[in-house]
Amino acid sequence: MRIRTKLLCFLLAVVIIPLCALGLYSWSRTSELGRELARGAAKALEANAAGELVQTAEMFGEHCADTLDLLETSLALTVDAAKQLLDVQSPTSPPPLMPMDIDFDAGAVTDAVLTPIGGSDVNASYDHMVFHLAPGLTRQAALPEMRAMSGLTPFYRTLFANHKNLMQFGYVGLASGLHCAYPGHGGYPVDYDPRRRPWYQNAAAKPGVTWDIMTDAATRQVVASMALALRTDSGRVLGVAGLDIPMARLFLQSDLSRAWSDKIRSMVVSLGTQGTAGKPDLVIVACRDYAQTSRDWTAPVELERIESPDTAILAEVTHELAAGRSGVRRLSYRGEDTLLAFAPVARKRLAVVLAAPREVVVASARQAEARVMASTSGLAGQIGLFLAGAVALVALLAVTASKTVTRPVRELAEAARKLASGDFSARVTPYGRDELAEMAASFNDMAPQLVERMKLKNDMALAMEVQQHLLPGRPPAMEGMDISALSLYCDETGGDYFDFLEFAQDDASHADIVIGDVTGHGVSAALFMATGRALLR
C-alpha cells in the first residue's frame, strides 16, 4: 500500500471516526430527548384530559341534580293540581273542549296548532290536552273526570312554556282507566290502558317518585318516565301523574363531552340495584343508546349495566360513588382501553358516568407527541446532513493533505529512480523547512558528491590495473622447482611488492626474488612501490 493511501486512511480514521461517533451520539440523544418530551407532553395532556372529564362529570351531575329536582317539583305540583281538580269536580259545569285521541287521529284538530314531535311521525298541540279511554270505559262514564282533568290545561301550558326542552309529555292516568296527556296528540293503540303500564303500576305500588325506562305507546320512542301516585289521605290511589323525558334530551344539553368526540359515552346510572355479590351494580338508566324507536311498545326496555373484566377497578368506582365521591379510573370497557369518569348526583341514588376511549382522550396528546417527534426527527436529520457534510469536507481535506505531504516523497522517489538509472542531473525542489525539505536538500547535495566518488572510483580502478601490470605476469621457469606468486590488496592499490629479477640471463637454474612492503595503504604506498620497482629494474 502506498504511503499516500496509508496517510489518507490514517487521517480519515483519526478525524471521521470520532466525528461519526459524536454525530451518532448527538442524534441518539436528540431522539431520546424528543421521546422523553413527547412522553411527558402525552402524560401531562392525558392528566389534563382526565381532570377535564371529571370536571365535566361533576358539572353534569350537578345539572342532573338540579334538573331532577325541577322535574320532581313539577310532578308534585301536577299531582296536587290533579287532586284538587278531582276534589272539586262539578258535573253541572258546561263541558270544555275535550278532544279525544281519536279526534287527533281523524284530523279533527286543525294542522295550524299542531307541532311535530321530534323523531316520530306524531303531531301534537300545545293548545289542547288529549283524552284516551281504556278498553271498557265509556265517554259518558268518564265525562266527570274528563271535565275535572281538563282544568290541568293552563297548568301544563305554563309548565311546558318554561321547560319544553326537558319534557315531551305530561299525563295523568286515573284508576278508572281515563288517561289525559299534554300536549294533545293521537297515535294511542286501541288497547292502551294506563293502569297496565309500568309507570302506573310502579308508582301505585311504591311511595314517592319512581323512574322507568320504557317505550312510549304513541311515538314508539324510548323515554324515561317519572311518575308519582295521586293518593287520598287514607292512602287510596286515585291515579298516577307522570312526565316523559326523551333520552335524546335527558341531561344531554349540558353534556360537555360532546365537544370531545361522539365516541364518548354519556350515561346516568343507578346505584340502587344489588348485584350477585351483594354490592350495587351500575345500572344504566339513561344513555344515547336508549334513544331509539321501538316497534313493540309493550316490550320492556332491557337496561344495560356497566361491566368490565377489570372487576377490582370497577368495584373501586362503585365504592367511590356509594361514598359520594367523584373521580376517574382507567379500565377495559366494551373491549377498549377506557377512561371512566364518574360523579354522584346529589340527593339521588344516581350518578353520571362518562366512558371515554383513551385513544380519543389522548388524541391531542398523540398529536403533540407526533409534533415533538417530527421536530426532533427534523433536528436529527439536520445533524445527519451536517455530519455527512463534515465527513465529505474532512475526506476532501484529508485527500488534499495527503497529496501535500506525500508530494515531496514522490518527487524524491522519482529523482532517486533517475539517479539510479545514471541521470546524475536529477534534482528535487525543496518545499518548506521541514524534514522533507532537509531530505530534498541532502539529496541535491548527494548527487554531485556521488559523481565525484564515481570518478574517484574509476581512477582507482585504473590505478589498480596499472599496479597489477607492474607485478610479474608469470613466475620464471626453473628446472626442478614450481614457483607461483599472488598479491591481494585490501584496497584498490597498495604497497605490497614482489618481483623476479633475472640478472643472470644464461643461468636458468637461478632466480632473484624480491619481496617488499611499503608502510601504509592506498595510493601513496603504491607510488613508493612503483618507485622502488623502477630503481630495482
Cβ(362)–Cβ(42) under 8 Å?
Answer: yes
Mean pLDDT of 455-463: 77
Cβ(238)–Cβ(231) under 8 Å?
Answer: yes
Cβ(223)–Cβ(286) under 8 Å?
Answer: no
Tell me what pLDDT residue 254 has. 45
- More reliable by pLDDT, 89 or 251: 89
206/60 Cα distance (integer angstroms): 28
**pLDDT-based confidence at residue 472 (cuts at 50, 70, 90):** confident
Tell me what pLDDT residue 230 has. 95
pTM comes to: 0.62
Could you tell me what percent of the chain has a pLDDT over 90? 22
Tell me what pLDDT residue 172 has. 96
Tell me what pLDDT residue 365 has. 66
What average pLDDT does the chain have?
Answer: 81
Q: Is the pLDDT of residue 57 over 60?
A: yes
Tell me what pLDDT residue 517 has. 83
Mean pLDDT of 205-222: 88
Tell me what pLDDT residue 29 has. 76
259/249 Cα distance (integer angstroms): 16
Q: Which of 57-71, 297-311, 366-380, 507-521 has the lowest mean pLDDT?
A: 366-380
Q: Crossing angle for the helix pair 435-470 and 363-420, nearest 10 degrees?
A: 20
pLDDT digits 0-9 by tens, 111-161: 767 888 877 888 899 988 999 999 999 999 999 999 999 999 999 999 999
Cβ(439)–Cβ(424) under 8 Å?
Answer: no
Mean pLDDT of 334-355: 89
The secondary element (H helix, E strand) that includes residue 223 is strand 222-231
Q: Is the pLDDT of residue 92 over 70?
A: no
pLDDT digits 0-9 by tens, 219-274: 888 888 999 999 998 989 999 999 998 876 665 454 444 555 567 888 888 876 55
* List of residues 6+ apart from 184 with CB closer than 8 A: 99, 104, 109, 124, 125, 127, 128, 129, 130
pLDDT digits 0-9 by tens, 406-424: 777 777 788 888 878 877 7
Q: Is the pLDDT of residue 163 over 60?
A: yes
Centre a 10 Å sphere on the Cβ of residue 421 and count the other Cβ atoms it contains: 9
Tell me what pLDDT residue 503 has. 63
**pLDDT-based confidence at residue 375 (cuts at 50, 70, 90):** confident
Q: Is the pLDDT of residue 292 over 70?
A: no
Tell me what pLDDT residue 255 has. 47
5/402 Cα distance (integer angstroms): 8
300/120 Cα distance (integer angstroms): 19
Tell me what pLDDT residue 248 has. 62
Mean pLDDT of 484-507: 74
Tell me what pLDDT residue 93 has. 54
Domain coordinates in residue numbering, the chain: 92-209, 422-463, 471-536
**pLDDT-based confidence at residue 91 (cuts at 50, 70, 90):** low
Tell me what pLDDT residue 155 has. 94
**pLDDT-based confidence at residue 189 (cuts at 50, 70, 90):** very high
- Phi–psi pair at 397, nearest 5 degrees: -65, -35
The secondary element (H helix, E strand) that includes residue 503 is none
Tell me what pLDDT residue 522 has. 74
Mean pLDDT of 57-73: 87
Tell me what pLDDT residue 193 has. 95
Tell me what pLDDT residue 90 has. 58
Which residues on neighbouring strands pair with residue 211, listed in sequence order?
226
Here the cell at position 432 is 518548506
**pLDDT-based confidence at residue 170 (cuts at 50, 70, 90):** very high
Cβ(133)–Cβ(210) under 8 Å?
Answer: no
Tell me what pLDDT residue 26 has. 74
Mean pLDDT of 168-192: 93
Tell me what pLDDT residue 444 has. 81
Q: What angle do CA 513, 519, 525 make, to 5 degrees?
A: 85
